[in-house]
A and B are shown apart, each in its own frame.
Chain A
Amino acid sequence: MTIAKVPRETLANALGADRIATELAKEGHEVIRTGSLGLCWAEPLVEIDGIAYGPVSDLAHLEAARIGPTGEIPALTRQHRLVFDRCGRVDPFEYDPAPIRAHLERAPADILAEIEASGLRGRGGAGFPAHIKWRTVHDTPSDRKYVVVNADEGDSGTFADRLIMEGDPFRLIEGMLIAGRAIGADTGVVYLRSEYPLAAEVFSEAIAAARGMGLLETFDIELFIGAGAYICGEETSLLESLEGKRGEIRAKPPVPAIAGLFGRPTLVHNVITLCAVPAILEHGGAAYAELGVGRSTGTMTFQLAGNVERGGLIELPFGVALRELIEDWGGGTRTGRDVGAVQVGGPLGAYLSGAQLDTPMTYEALAAIGAGVGHGGIVVFDDTVDLVQQAHFAFAFCAHESCGKCTPCRIGAVRGKETVEALIASERPEVELAIIADLCDVMEQASLCQMGGMTPIPVRSALGLPQGGD
C-alpha cells in the first residue's frame, strides 16, 4: 500500500484532482486529500510515496509528469515557509490542537509583546503595524470586542487567502484564537467572498471540527459569505456588510479598533496577517523580526500570476527583487515574449516597467517608486500590453466597484474612463493627459477611502504620469 497525496483545492479540482483521487484509490493507494503546495503550474500535483508528479492529467501518463522527491523540489526548498509550512503537506483535518492550546495559556500582555517584537504589518494592503491595532482594541473598554477576518480577497493576481483556507484552515483559526485571547474578544467573524465556495466548505468543516475539539468554548467563530462587491475588502465597507447593509464605507475616524462591528472595538485583519501569528508565537517575535529588511519584517506570501510560465505562491522574507520572482521563480512570460509591465499589489497597484524590476519587494522600496506591496499579488504582462487600455480599465473598475458614498470616486472614475476614451481618439493627447492628471489629484486627495484614493496609482503609472504628493 502506498500513500498518495492529492490536493483538495479549487485549481487542482478544476483540472481533475477529484477524478485522479478516485482512480488512485481504485488502484489501491491510500489517498490523502491535502491542500495545494502552491506550485500552481504543476497542478494537479500528486505525490506518491514522497515523489511529486505534475501536472497529472491522467494516471497513464504519470511517469512523464515526474518532478522528483517533494522534499527536494527547489521551488519549495528555497522558500521560507512560516504561514504555509503545513499547507499541501498534510491532511488539514489530521490536526493536533496541543500547540495552540499551549499558545492560549500565555498571558495577553505576553502575546501583545511578541506581536510588537515581530514587527508584523498588515498583509491586506495598508501595511499598518499590527501591534498598534491589537493594543488599541485591547485598551478600549467595551462589553464586547470582535476579531474580524478580511477574506474578501478581491485583488486580481492574489489567491493566498484561498489557498490557506482550503489547505490549512486551522492556521487561520489559530491566528484568530490567539488574537481573541490577546485583545479580550469572544467572537470572531470571517468575511469570505462568494467566489470561493470550496474555501467556504473547507473552513466550515474546520470550524465544526474545532468546536468538536473544544477549541471554541470561550471564543466562537462565524463564517459570513459575501455577495459580490470588491469594495467590501475595504475594512469599514466590510463591517457595514456584516451588519447586513449596503457595503458603503464609513468615514474614519473612528477607526474600527475603537468603534467597529456594531460600534464595538474590532480587530480587522487580512487572513495572511493572522496566519502569521502562530508562527510568531512558535518562533518568537524577535526571530520573526530578523527576517526581511528594515521595517518590512518576516515573510510575505507573494503570488505570481498572469502571463507567467510558472505561477504560484512563493513565501519568502521581504527583500527579494521583483526580477528574481518573475524570471527565476516564474520562468518569464507564458507567451515567451519580453515582460512589458508588471502590476504589483492588485488593481490599485502600480504598473511597473521592465526598468523597475530590480526593486526589492519591501514596503519601503516600493513606496519610494510610488508603488505598494498590497496583498502580495504580482501580475505579469508581456510586451503586447496596451497600457492605455489598462489605465482605462483602472477607471472602469473603480466606476464599477465604487460604493458611491463620496463624489471624487463615484463621479471621478466615470469621468476618468471617458477621458481615457477621449485620449485614445485625441489629436492633442496633452490636453486629455492634463485633465487626467488633475482628476487623479482630486481623487487621491479627496476620496474617503483607498478605492478612489489609489485608483490614480495604476492610472498614472500606466500613462507615464508622475505619482502625486512629490
Chain B
Amino acid sequence: MDQAVSAREIAERHTGRIGGPITALREIAAEFGYIERAHMEGVADAFNLTLAEVRGIVGFYSDLNTEPRGRTHIRICQAEACQSVGARELTAAAVARFGAGLGETAADGSVSLEAVYCLGLCTTGPAATVNDRIIVRATAEALAS
C-alpha cells in the first residue's frame, strides 16, 4: 500500500485527540520501523499541518526515528544512577562487541545501539533493553544473549 495513504489512515485515528500527531507518529514508527517523508506527508495531511511542522515534531522526540534500526535494537541507560555502577564501561564494551556506536546500526544491520536516559530501574543498574526486553545489572554478555 502507498506509504502516505497508510500513514494517513493511522493518523486519522488520532485527529481531535490530545497529543494526536505525536501518538500517530509513534504508531507509524512502530508499524513501519521508522518514519519516512511519505509518512510525514500523510500525518501533515490528516492534521492539517505543514510538512515542516511534522518534521519539527519528528526531529524533537527521540522515539520518532527516521532511520531503520537493527534487527536487534539495544538501548543502554546513560544516566547518573547507571553511571555510578558502570554504565560507561558497559557502553564501551557493547560498542566494541556489536560494532556500532550509540545512535548507530552495525554495518550488517544486525544490531543498533541507542542511548536512553533513565528507565526507572535505578537501584539495579546498569539498565538496558534488548528489543524491549528489560535487562538489569546488565553486562555486554547479557545484552548479546
Contact between A246 and B56 (Cβ–Cβ < 8 Å)? yes
Of the stretches A68-76, A81-89, A148-156, A439-447, the one at the interface is A148-156
Contact between B63 and A227 (Cβ–Cβ < 8 Å)? yes
Docked Cα-Cα span, A196 to B60, in Å, equals 19
Indicate which residue in B26, B84, B116, B118 contacts A381 across the interface (CB closer than 8 Å).
Answer: B84
Docked Cα-Cα span, A215 to B23, in Å, equals 26
Report the nearest B residue to A403, measured CB to CB: B60
Given contacts A14-B136, A156-B82, A379-B81, contact A194 B26 (CB under 8 A): yes
Docked Cα-Cα span, A11 to B121, in Å, equals 7
Docked Cα-Cα span, A222 to B14, in Å, equals 13
A194, A195, A382, A401: most-surrounded residue (chain B CB, <10 A): A195
Given contacts A156-B80, A246-B56, A343-B80, contact A306 B122 (CB under 8 A): yes
Per-position 1/0 for A220-252, Cβ under 8 A of B: 001011111110000000000111111110000
B26, B47, B85, B134: most-surrounded residue (chain A CB, <10 A): B85
Given contacts A11-B124, A246-B56, A379-B80, contact A228 B136 (CB under 8 A): no
* Contact of A317 with B by CB under 8 A: no
Contact between B18 and A229 (Cβ–Cβ < 8 Å)? no
Q: How many residues of B contact A (CB 8 A)?
A: 41
List chain B residues, Cβ under 8 A from A296. Answer: none
Contact between B81 and A156 (Cβ–Cβ < 8 Å)? yes
* Contact of B42 with A by CB under 8 A: no
List chain B residues, Cβ under 8 A from A162. Answer: 120
Interface residues of B in 102-134 (CB under 8 A from A): 116-125, 132, 134
Indicate which residue in A156, A229, A248, A304 contacts B118 across the interface (CB closer than 8 Å).
Answer: A156
* Contact of B5 with A by CB under 8 A: no
With both chains docked as a complex, state the minimum distance between the C-beta of A5 and any C-beta of chain B, in angstroms.
20
List chain A residues, Cβ under 8 A from B136. Answer: 11, 14-15
List chain A residues, Cβ under 8 A from B57. Answer: 244-246
List chain A residues, Cβ under 8 A from B118. Answer: 153-156, 158, 195
Contact between A159 and B80 (Cβ–Cβ < 8 Å)? no
Docked Cα-Cα span, A437 to B81, in Å, equals 26
With both chains docked as a complex, state the minimum distance between the C-beta of B63 and any C-beta of chain A, in angstroms.
4
Contact between A385 and B124 (Cβ–Cβ < 8 Å)? no
Docked Cα-Cα span, A400 to B19, in Å, equals 23
List chain A residues, Cβ under 8 A from B143. Answer: none
Contact between A307 and B85 (Cβ–Cβ < 8 Å)? yes
Given contacts A225-B23, A305-B81, contact A157 B63 (CB under 8 A): no
Indicate which residue in A159, A197, A229, A308 contacts B121 across the interface (CB closer than 8 Å).
Answer: A159
Report the nearest A residue to B22, measured CB to CB: A227
Contact between A156 and B56 (Cβ–Cβ < 8 Å)? no
Contact between B80 and A227 (Cβ–Cβ < 8 Å)? no
List chain B residues, Cβ under 8 A from A242. Answer: 18-19
With both chains docked as a complex, state the minimum distance between the C-beta of A215 and any C-beta of chain B, in angstroms.
20
Indicate which residue in B56, B62, B85 contacts A229 across the interface (CB closer than 8 Å).
Answer: B62
With both chains docked as a complex, state the minimum distance between the C-beta of B39 and any C-beta of chain A, in angstroms.
14
List chain A residues, Cβ under 8 A from B3. Answer: none
Report the nearest A residue to B79, measured CB to CB: A156
Interface residues of A in 143-190 (CB under 8 A from B): 153-159, 161-162, 189
Indicate which residue in B61, B62, B117, B135 contacts A156 across the interface (CB closer than 8 Å).
Answer: B117
Contact between A159 and B18 (Cβ–Cβ < 8 Å)? no
List chain B residues, Cβ under 8 A from A154. Answer: 117-118
Indicate which residue in B25, B80, B121 contacts A14 across the interface (CB closer than 8 Å).
Answer: B121
* Contact of A334 with B by CB under 8 A: yes
* Contact of A13 with B by CB under 8 A: yes
Contact between B120 and A159 (Cβ–Cβ < 8 Å)? yes
Contact between B61 and A227 (Cβ–Cβ < 8 Å)? yes
Contact between B85 and A195 (Cβ–Cβ < 8 Å)? no
Contact between B120 and A153 (Cβ–Cβ < 8 Å)? yes
Given contacts A156-B117, A156-B118, A401-B117, contact A41 B135 (CB under 8 A): no
Indicate which residue in A13, A158, A241 contacts B134 across the interface (CB closer than 8 Å).
Answer: A13
Interface residues of B in 46-80 (CB under 8 A from A): 47, 53, 56-57, 59-64, 77, 79-80
Docked Cα-Cα span, A13 to B133, in Å, equals 10
Contact between B80 and A157 (Cβ–Cβ < 8 Å)? yes
Report the nearest A residue to B75, measured CB to CB: A195
List chain A residues, Cβ under 8 A from B122. Answer: 156-159, 303, 305-306, 311, 377, 379
Docked Cα-Cα span, A242 to B83, in Å, equals 31
Docked Cα-Cα span, A43 to B81, in Å, equals 18
Report the nearest B residue to A404, measured CB to CB: B60
Contact between A195 and B19 (Cβ–Cβ < 8 Å)? no
Docked Cα-Cα span, A6 to B101, in Å, equals 38
Docked Cα-Cα span, A308 to B83, in Å, equals 13
* Contact of B20 with A by CB under 8 A: yes
* Contact of A119 with B by CB under 8 A: no
Docked Cα-Cα span, A248 to B135, in Å, equals 32
6 contacts between A and B (CB under 8 A): A156-B79, A195-B119, A228-B64, A229-B62, A306-B81, A379-B122
Given contacts A156-B79, A162-B120, 10 further A-B contacts (CB under 8 A): A159-B123, A197-B132, A226-B22, A226-B63, A241-B19, A246-B56, A247-B60, A305-B122, A306-B85, A311-B122
Task: Please name the 4 residue pairs, one residue from A and one from B, whose CB atoms are nearest each other, closest first.
Answer: A311-B123, A156-B79, A305-B122, A227-B61
